[in-house]
Amino acid sequence: MPNILIVEDEPAISRVLKVYLSKAGYQVEQAFDGEEALRKFDSLKPSLLILDIMLPGIDGWGILKYIRERSSCPIIMLTALGKINHKLDGLNQGADDYITKPFIADEVVARVNAVLRRPLQLGDVQESMNYGTLKINFKAHAVYLHGVELSLIPRDLALLLFMARHPNQTFTREQLIEQVWGIDYEGSDRAVDLAIKRIRKVMENWPLSEGEVKTLRGLGYQFCVYHKK
Binding site for Ca ion (CB under 5 A): 9, 52, 54
Distance in Å, CB of 35 to Ca ion, minimum: 15
User: DSSP secondary structure string, 158-192?
Assistant: HHHHHHHHSTT-EE-HHHHIIIII-TT----HHHH
Residue whose CB is less far from Ca ion, 78 or 158: 78
Q: H or E stretch including 114?
A: helix 105-117
Distance in Å, CB of 12 to Ca ion, minimum: 11
Distance in Å, CB of 57 to Ca ion, minimum: 11
Residue whose CB is less far from Ca ion, 6 or 136: 6
Select the residue whose beta carbon is closest to Ca ion and give its number.
54
Distance in Å, CB of 104 to Ca ion, minimum: 18
Contact 162, 185 (CB under 8 A): no
Residue whose CB is less far from Ca ion, 19 or 54: 54
Distance in Å, CB of 10 to Ca ion, minimum: 6
Residue whose CB is less far from Ca ion, 18 or 155: 18
Residue whose CB is less far from Ca ion, 54 or 153: 54
